[in-house]
Amino acid sequence: MKVTITVNGRETSAEVEDRTLLVHYLRDVLNLTATNIGCDTTTCGACTVLLDGEAVKSCTVLAAQADGREVTTVEGLAAEDGTMHPVQKAFHENHGLQCGFCTPGMVMAAVSLLKENPRPTEEQVRAGLEGNLCRCTGYHNIVKAVLAAAEETA
């Protein structure tokens, strides 16, 4: 089937198998490989992207379900001149990553969280990121980064 999806502000279109998952559309069709595939079972959150502005796990969404809708990946966050998004900047400044595998999903989940709750408490940040696993156990600095980004943008 043919799908047309606006990805990071750009209209994309391709003929795909009906069973194509959104994450494969992003990685294999569009070559946007920042979005990682981790557990592949809707658990780890590495594949988190925004669908119409809300965080979803793209390993559990069909490309067909995103047809006609807007998707944002971490590649679409920074400004055109390269200025980082406040959440990216906060992860950088607070050392909110170690190996970096969970980071794209973590950042997108944080962007979605701050959109719904611009001034979260630490507890709300921890609950808001419960769908994203970091196996370096860098949670402490990740939470710090999200709180710093909230401070910066509120």
Partner 1 sequence: MIPATFTYRRAESVDEAIELAGQYGEDAKFLAGGHSLLPLMKLRLAQPEVLVDIGRLRDLSYIRDQGDHVAIGALTRHHDLATSELLAEQLPLLHHAAGTIGDPQVRHRGTIGGSLAHADPAGDLPAVVLALEATLVARGPSGSREIPATEFFRGLFESALEPGELLTEIRVPKPAARGWSFQKFTKRAIDWAIVGVAVQGDRIGLVNMGEKPVRATAVEQALASGASIRDAAEHAADGLSPASDVHASAEYRAQLARVLVRRGLEEARARA
Residues at the site binding partner 1, with contacts judged by CB under 8 A? 1, 17-21, 24, 40-43, 45, 48, 51, 54-57, 60-62, 64-65, 67, 109, 112-113, 128, 130-132
The nearer residue to partner 1, 94 or 132, going by C-beta atoms, is 132
Residues β-bridged to residue 15: 2
The nearer residue to partner 1, 18 or 80, going by C-beta atoms, is 18
The nearer residue to partner 1, 95 or 119, going by C-beta atoms, is 119
Q: How far is the CB of 142 from partner 1 (least distance, A)?
A: 14
Q: How far is the CB of 107 from partner 1 (least distance, A)?
A: 13
H-helix segments, the chain = 22-24, 86-93, 103-116, 122-128, 139-153
